[in-house]
Amino acid sequence: MQSIEKIVMIGAGNLATNLAVALHNNGLQIVQIVNRTLDNAEKLAEKVNAKFTDDYDGINDKADLYIIAVSDDSICELLGKLNLRDKLVIHTAGSIDMEVLHAFSNKYGIFYPLQTFSKNEIISFENIPVCIEANTVEYETVLFQLGEKLSNNVHKVSSEQRKILHVAAVFASNFSSYLYLIADKILSDNNMSFDLLKPLIFRTAEKIQSQATENALTGPARRNDTAVLQAHLQLLENLPEYQQIYNLISNSIVKHFHQS
Amino acid sequence: MQSIEKIVMIGAGNLATNLAVALHNNGLQIVQIVNRTLDNAEKLAEKVNAKFTDDYDGINDKADLYIIAVSDDSICELLGKLNLRDKLVIHTAGSIDMEVLHAFSNKYGIFYPLQTFSKNEIISFENIPVCIEANTVEYETVLFQLGEKLSNNVHKVSSEQRKILHVAAVFASNFSSYLYLIADKILSDNNMSFDLLKPLIFRTAEKIQSQATENALTGPARRNDTAVLQAHLQLLENLPEYQQIYNLISNSIVKHFHQS
């Protein structure tokens, strides 16, 4: 069975950066960073002691694994530029079917870490769920073992399941982040600091680590406190977009807990 | 200036329980728990070594402070049953104006801890923002000092500001909790475990402690990745309520980051 030592990372964004550093820190060799923006390729290459290029024809052909870690909407265009026919090629995107890789290689799979990443804050992969899929049992094992070098939370997940996970993650993470942004905007419009909400936000996420989602929810909509709900909608009168979001989510909470 | 030693707690819910325990643990004496359900009064009274009653006429009249810690929608009805004319009376609700207390006492104020509480999980008040308001400077100082016994994060906040804080907190905490619940439902409908999302949820809240809300957001709507957004809406076809929430929040994110 093939074992992974040398890796080419294609991409240099938030996920590519965190993944390359995690692989590097766990003894894998990142031989090359390939990225359309040379400057970003260089920045990541420095972090993991790799060579770098913005030339897709200049990709190192001696690596054991080629990781495409670019945004979901760039993958298909990018694949057309690569020549990796006999190489093990994987992507890291939440919503792209594994089989898009079929036309470009005969050895392919998925390595999807379910986490939100920032280039500027490198985090440990230790507890991050890593979702693995591959076109053969052999490559699945290879990728699973690679995952286990980084994380104690590796799972076999089909493309269909991965898409479901991704949409659930959008609700739980992206949309929560946007609600934090709305709260920030409401406070700054009224000359108050977002810092006041930070302990609450942290505790809300901490609570869900041990309590059932059905039990963790508190607040006026949970209690169906119509007087407070009306007062809040009135407070948001000058922010109609946020008022609409408040209304839709509150109604959904009331329906969930009081009308079902 | 009056100093607080003996306290009557009116209410025995999530907030009342956490606040009574915090006061008790910090050397204050909870002399009595008053609650419409005797059973809950007794449970809390045991935790803080207090007497308890469900009889509003039997309230101990020798305390230095009377804390009304019931839900926002119960306060006004409750006030009609109390006889605390010359007592220092405060409430802990996010959305109820301080002046509702004016008709019932000549010494009154607010002690609003900005946090989500559960009876079953007692947490420290150390970092919780506590918002103080009172009808005189003297009582404001008394309450501020009481707050500082529990927390290093005490603030003078007007009733108007407190209402704004409360609506922002609903977005940041209650609505996030509901998004966790939606994510849980989507996963369980597809036989996957909500545990897979816990590291992501924790990290999303952790990220916001140090990063600006404008920078922390990632995902398909942030990138205006219309192919993924469409695919997600299609995946949610059998969950029209969640689909509507997905659509509204995604559109708002796209508008915020790409059309302003």
Q: Grade residue A1 by pLDDT with cuts at 50, 70 and 90.
A: low
Q: Are the CB atoms for B199 and A115 separated by under 8 Å?
A: yes
What backbone phi and psi angles, to 5 degrees, belong to B97? -55, 145
Q: What distance in Å separates the CA atoms of residue A251 and residue A248, rounded to the nearest whole number?
A: 5
**Percent of chain B residues past pLDDT 90, beyond the cut:** 92
Q: What is the pLDDT of residues A225-240, one digit of tens each?
A: 999 999 999 999 999 9
Q: What distance in Å separates the CA atoms of residue A55 and residue A50, rounded to the nearest whole number?
A: 15
Beta-bridge mates of residue B131 = B112, B155
| Residues of A whose CB is below 8 A from B232 | 95, 166-167, 170
Q: Are the CB atoms for B30 and B18 separated by under 8 Å?
A: no
Show the CA angle centred on residue A37, arms to residues A36 and A43, nearest 5°.
125
Q: What is the pLDDT of residue A3?
A: 84
Maximal CA-CA distance, chain A: 67
The pTM assigned to this predicted structure is 0.94
Rg (CA), chain B: 22
Closest by alpha carbon to A35, among A16, A54, A57, A48? Answer: A54
Pairing of strands A154-156, B130-134: unpaired
- E strands of B82-214, at which residues? 88-91, 107-113, 130-134, 154-156
Residue A39, classified by CB atoms within 10 Å of its CB into exposed (0-12), middle (13-18) or buried (19+), is exposed
> Do the Cβ atoms of B204 and A116 come within 8 Å?
yes
The secondary structure of B5-18 as a DSSP string is: -EEEEE--SHHHHH
Q: Are the CB atoms for A236 and A243 separated by under 8 Å?
A: yes
Given a cut of 80, is residue A8 above it in pLDDT?
A: yes
Q: What distance in Å separates the CA atoms of residue A206 and residue B147, rounded to the nearest whole number?
A: 24
| Residues of B whose CB is below 8 A from A237 | none
Pairing of strands B130-134, B65-68: unpaired
Q: What is the pLDDT of residues B121-173, one digit of tens each?
A: 999 999 999 999 999 999 999 999 999 999 999 999 999 999 999 999 999 99
| Residues of A whose CB is below 8 A from B201 | 172-173, 176, 205, 208-209
| Residues of A whose CB is below 8 A from B112 | none
Q: Using CA coordinates, name the residue in chain B closest to A216.
A: B177
Q: Using CA coordinates, name the residue in chain A closest to B206.
A: A202
Give the least confident one: A130-134, A158-162, B48-52, B69-73. Answer: B69-73
> Do the Cβ atoms of B228 and A73 come within 8 Å?
yes
Helices B159-169 and A176-189 cross at an angle (nearest 10°) of: 170
Q: Are the CB atoms for B199 and A153 separated by under 8 Å?
A: yes
Q: What is the pLDDT of residues A20-35, one digit of tens each?
A: 999 999 999 999 999 9
Is residue B190 less than 8 Å (CB to CB) from chain A? yes
Tell me how close the Cα of A64 comes to any Cα of chain B, in angstroms: 29
Helices (H), chain A: 14-25, 38-48, 75-79, 137-150, 159-169, 176-189, 198-210, 213-216, 226-235, 240-258
Closest by alpha carbon to A185, among B212, B143, B154? Answer: B212
Q: Are the CB atoms for B169 and A218 separated by under 8 Å?
A: no
Element (H, E) at A112: strand A107-113
